[in-house]
Structure 1
Amino acid sequence: MSQSFAAPPDTDAPLVALRDVSVRFGTQTVLEEIDLALRPGRILTLLGPNGAGKSTLARVILGIVTPHQGQVTRRPGLRIGYMPQRIKLDDSLPLTADGFLALGSAGATRERRNALARVGVAHLRRRAVQQLSGGEMQRVLLARALLRKPDLLVLDEPAQGVDVAGQDALYGLLAEVRDEFGCGILLISHDLHLVMAATDDVICLHRHICCSGTPDVVSRDPAFRDMFPGHTATNLALYTHEHDHEHDLQGNIDCAGHHHDH
């Protein structure tokens, strides 16, 4: 009689991998031929202007949006912690930071307290969420994501509404979380200076991947300079790949004056 055995998990395999992924809403192509891999212990930042498809790509990774083309592979048993761009709470709702964490969480009181302590806001446990600053609320949202003990953290514009000093502290905290838990992190952002210093890898998105690589390589890429005029490797204090096309005002791809399928 033959016997079958479960294969051991491949610890080098990506947490999530996208291959040739495209998404259409009606007749509009939102994402086109996306290839990427999210790996343990790496921070990947997704940069691009409004309307570039960043949030749609995040929803594909989260499993909320199904692509009409391509393949999405997730590591078996993958746990994802998600930190939304913003959350709207009723001002009349009497809710403390601890109570907010308890919503939809099976975590014990001690686990919630530990999560708040890990992100540096244990002292805000009984504070009403309406009284929290932007930076404090972002840390509470991060604590909520950490309660899932995630293999992958997905953070949509985590520094929005946070001052520069708070952004610096938040990105430093994310690096600490990555080092401590070994999780992969996907940052979605349109900010440049601090996030470029805080990430391992960068993808510039405008419906398709315009350029990708380490921050120092991407910051020297012509596609990056077109997307973020005036930001260079020097003034970012911080990347070169061949890029044979530009975008017109409608976001369509223009290769030496010709549109093509990319």
Structure 2
Amino acid sequence: MIPDTAELLVQAQHLSVERGGRTLLDSADLAVHAGEIVTLIGPNGAGKTTLVRTILQLMQHNRGKLYRKPGLRIGYMPQKLHIDPSLPLTVERFLTLGGATKAQAHKALERTGAEHLLKQPLQSLSGGETQRVLLARALLQQPELLVLDEPVQGVDVAGQAALYALINELRHELGCGVLLISHDLHLVMANTDTVVCLNGHVCCQGHPSQVTADPAYLELFGHRAEAQIALYTHHHDHAHDQCGEIDPEHSHHA
């Protein structure tokens, strides 16, 4: 649970984006506080990337208000990395291109469990290895806000769970907010504080337990939503004490 006193990092109010006579995003509201994980879900073309790009100030909005904490440090993890296969680029060189020292690059890789990849050619990495390197690159910014676009793209199921667990650990360690885009309903619901469901506009938002019961969510995701509710309920059949440990006195198991 995010404290009411947690610092507001970014907030979109009635944000609309139009391009070429088309409305890409219509009156969207979203807020991310320090220590909070907010996840954007929705079908392709729903406006998720548009909203994120607007928050990153890579796109201008046409209507509404956008607040960003003054001097906000953002670590951005793109969905895909496009590197020329003929370009000789090691992981270490890739991470130091932005001005980081070799020591800083090594420390960031160590935190994401990828320190053994330091001297590897970037093009030789697996999907999971690439994502951990990209996350390390985002950490080099000492971010107050991590923005992650499909962070488990191209990663196997076991690797996806491990990456989400790592993201969860990082938000506690750094006290940073996390804004991520995801298509994976199951892992999203188990690892987020607030879900924002987009389909050109905000269909519904709130705690995962609220969103999964919302008719707009059920209509948008259909059978996937029904299966997700069962999984979400199964994975939340216990309570936690104030330290985050499972509390046997207030837990029940199906």
Distance 1:236 1:39 in 2: 27
Pairing of 1:242-253 with structure 2 (within 5 A): none
1:120 to 105, 108, 113: 113
Distance 2:214 2:80 in 1: 31
1:147 to 130, 140, 146: 140
Tell me what 1:102 maps to. Answer: 96
Pairing of 1:129-168 with structure 2 (within 5 A): 129-168=122-161
More helix by share: 2
Q: Provide structure 2 residue ranges, at least 5 long, that are not aligned to the other structure.
A: 234-254
Distance 2:21 2:11 in 1: 26
TM-score, length-scaled by structure 2: 0.87
Identity %: 55
The yes-or-no answer on 1:36 pairing with 2:42 is no
Over the aligned positions, Cα root-mean-square deviation in angstroms equals 1.1
Q: CA deviation at 1:90?
A: 0.9
Q: CA deviation at 1:124?
A: 0.7
Radius of gyration: which is bigger? 1
Tell me what 1:235 maps to. Answer: 230
Q: Which amino acid aligns with 1:29?
A: T
Q: CA deviation at 1:55?
A: 0.3
Q: Which amino acid aligns with 2:170?
A: V
Q: Provide structure 1 residue ranges, at least 5 long, that are not aligned to the other structure.
A: 1-10, 239-262
- Count of paired positions: 227
- String of CA shifts for 1:113-170, please: whole Å, max 9, x gaps: 0000000000110111111100000000000000000110101111111111010000
Tell me what 1:86 maps to. Answer: 80
Q: CA deviation at 1:13?
A: 3.9
Tell me what 1:210 maps to. Answer: 203
Moved over 4 A (4+): none
SS of match in other structure, 1:203: strand
Q: Which amino acid aligns with 1:78?
A: L
